[in-house]
Copies of this chain bind each other. A is one copy, B any other.
Amino acid sequence: MAVDQAGVATRALALFAAGQPARDVPEAVRAVFHLSLQDWCAVARAGASEPVSRQLRALVVEEGGAPQADVIGGPRVPARAAALANGAISHALDYDDTHFDHIGHPSVAVIPAALAMAQRLGVSGRAFQDAAIIGMEASIAIGVWLGRNHYQSGFHQTATAGAFGAAVAAGRVMNFDRAQMERTIGLVATRASGIKAQFGTMGKPFNAGIAASNGVEAALLAASGFKPNPGALDGPQGFGATHAGEARDAELASLGTIWRLPRVQHKFHACCHGLHAALEAFAKLPGREPDKIARIEVRVHPRWLTVCNTPAPATGLELKFSYAGVLAMAALGISTARLENYSLDVAQDPHVIGIGRRVHVHADESLTETQARVALHDAAGAGDEAFADLMTPMTLAQRTRRVQDKCADLVGRDLAITLRRKIISSASPTELTEAFMNPGEDIRQDGAV
């Protein structure tokens, strides 16, 4: 086996990761990253009391160790452990950002790794942000290199591509040169794991945590002189070959020239992503008194009908997977962005049930998975129709406002504003974590063991 050199993909990633000058990161990339970081902080704090969050926190707190990096809602622990816990905690609500180029959640794997390593080494806020940007871009790129076949075969890109992105981010914090980056990538190739069979369970957020932790671990070992096969990602029987990867080398040629990060999608509704386009289309329709609504006709890509079309949602969880439920909420002015609205009370509210019965969902092969068409009719049959596509670019101003509103819903307006201010001004990693990670009465520290 070729154990002495990196392949084309590893070389391209390492050159980008070690060589991309921070000053040449386009402002548009940095601006979207700032939104992702703010979004990440908010969903992480909001998810800090979820059962999976308490369990991962309990694990690393019980282990203890050198106080290198903050755990959300807990004390400082070693960087590798902080990355593990924070990755899982920030994905607990499944409300973080998504990138559809590879279908993965780049923030929850990469930001916890960059942040933990940045706190461990005490680097500046700017250096932390640069590392996270490079790592997120690398994770999307390696996800595209692995391709749709990797994802369709059952691998969870958030975990797999995420581990490579986390490794690159951690290495960037450590100022690795190209050869060190290649060793880091080669080492994490034997550690990256995570399967979609965990979807719908605590295993899904856990997959984000292991990606982050694997990245930190690989960088720490590479820094200490560890010598893995630097071709273990793209060489014979490497990670790509063994994990149904497509080895789309050409996709990596534009790294650092054409940036994928700005196309990341933030979630603005705290429910299944299959419902978002319909909610966006509905929001474009003229306002109407709820009791004037006779029918709501929804057209979506056929795949969603088996995913999120619960016709009569009876619980808060079922609301999250129901066109009838979320469109009734929207029609009644109940925010679909707020987690607490996906409750038993709302599901059993007679008004919600009443409007829900008037929602009719149709499969439409002419629509993509990110598109929906919604029509609203009154009793006389008169109506309006609107179309939405999640891939339609928003202006930065629109996006900023919506992320800000979402964060305000999640953690309160004051903290949302504080977070944005600290992020824009490149506050140090610890200033940032002190703003939102410290345990308060809203975060339970105990692990429910």
* CB atoms of B197 and A229 under 8 A apart: yes
Task: Enumerate 20 A-B pairs (CB-CB under 8 Å) in ascending A order.
Answer: A1-B197, A1-B200, A58-B224, A59-B224, A63-B68, A64-B64, A65-B77, A65-B78, A153-B242, A155-B242, A159-B190, A187-B203, A187-B206, A189-B195, A190-B193, A190-B194, A195-B232, A195-B238, A195-B242, A197-B237
Residues A146-204 near B (CB distance < 8 A)? 153-156, 159, 186-187, 189-203
Whether A3 contacts B58 in the complex (CB less than 8 A), given A153-B242, A195-B189, A239-B195, comes out as: no
Would A59 and B220 count as touching, CB distance under 8 A?
Answer: yes
Of the candidates B52, B62, B198, which one forms a contact with A232 in the assembled complex, judged by CB atoms under 8 Å apart?
A: B198
Q: Is the Cβ of A63 less than 8 Å from the Cβ of B51?
A: no
A444 to chain B, nearest CB (A): 14
Number of A residues whose C-beta is below 8 Å from B? Answer: 67
Q: Name the interface residues of A135-151: CB closer than 8 Å to any CB of B.
A: none
**For the complex, would chain A's binding face be called helix, strand, loop or mixed by DSSP majority?**
loop
A276, CB-defined interface residue at 8 Å: no
Give the B-binding residues of A (Cβ under 8 A).
1, 3, 51-52, 55-56, 58-59, 62-66, 68, 77-78, 80-81, 153-156, 159, 186-187, 189-203, 206-207, 210, 217, 220-221, 223-229, 231-232, 235-239, 241-244, 447-449
Report yes or no: B448 in contact with A225, Cβ–Cβ below 8 A. yes
How many copies of this chain?
A: 2
Q: A159-B190, A203-B190, A241-B154 in contact; A449/B197 too (CB < 8 A)? A: no
Q: How far is the CA of A68 from the CA of B52 in the complex (A)?
A: 24
**Contact between B203 and A449 (Cβ–Cβ < 8 Å)?**
no
| Residues from chain B with Cβ under 8 Å of A155 in the complex | 242
B154 touches A242 (CB 8 A): yes
> Is A193 touching B193 in the complex (CB atoms < 8 A)?
yes
A223 touches B449 (CB 8 A): yes
Shortest distance from the beta carbon of A234 to any chain B beta carbon, whole Å: 10
Closest beta carbon of chain B to A47's beta carbon, Å: 16
B191 near A193 with CB under 8 A, answer yes
Residues of B with C-beta under 8 A to A226:
52, 55, 202, 206
Nearest opposing residue in chain B for A156, CB measure = B190
CB proximity of A110 to chain B, nearest CB, Å: 19
A200: chain B residues at CB < 8 Å are 1, 3, 229
**Are A237 and B1 closer than 8 Å at their CB atoms?**
no
Nearest B residue to A232 via CB reads B197
Known interface pairs A63-B78, A224-B449, A448-B224; A231-B197 also in contact (CB < 8 Å): yes
Known: A190-B195, A195-B237. A66 touches B66 (CB 8 A): no
Closest to A448 in B: B225
Task: Say yes or no: A55 contacts B221, CB within 8 Å.
Answer: yes
6 closest Cβ pairs, A-B complex: A65-B65, A154-B237, A63-B78, A193-B193, A203-B228, A154-B242
By beta carbon, the residue of chain B nearest A231 is B197
Q: A190-B198, A195-B232, A197-B235 are in contact. Are A64 and B78 (CB under 8 A)?
A: yes
Residue contact B224 to A55, C-beta cutoff 8 Å = yes
User: Are A225 and B63 closer than 8 Å at their CB atoms?
Assistant: no
Q: Please state if A447 and B224 are interface contacts (CB–CB under 8 Å).
A: yes
How long is the Cα–Cα vector from A193 to B154 in the complex, in angstroms? Answer: 15
A217 to B220 alpha-carbon distance, docked (Å): 20
Collect the chain B residues with CB atoms within 8 Å of residue A220's CB. 59
Tell whether, in the assembled complex, residue B197 and residue A236 are in contact, meaning their CB atoms are under 8 Å apart: yes
* Cα distance A234–B187 in the bound complex, in angstroms: 27
Which residue on chain B has the smallest CB distance to residue A79? Answer: B63
> Are B66 and A64 in contact (CB-based, < 8 A)?
yes
Which of A159, A201, A236 has most B Cβ within 10 Å?
A201
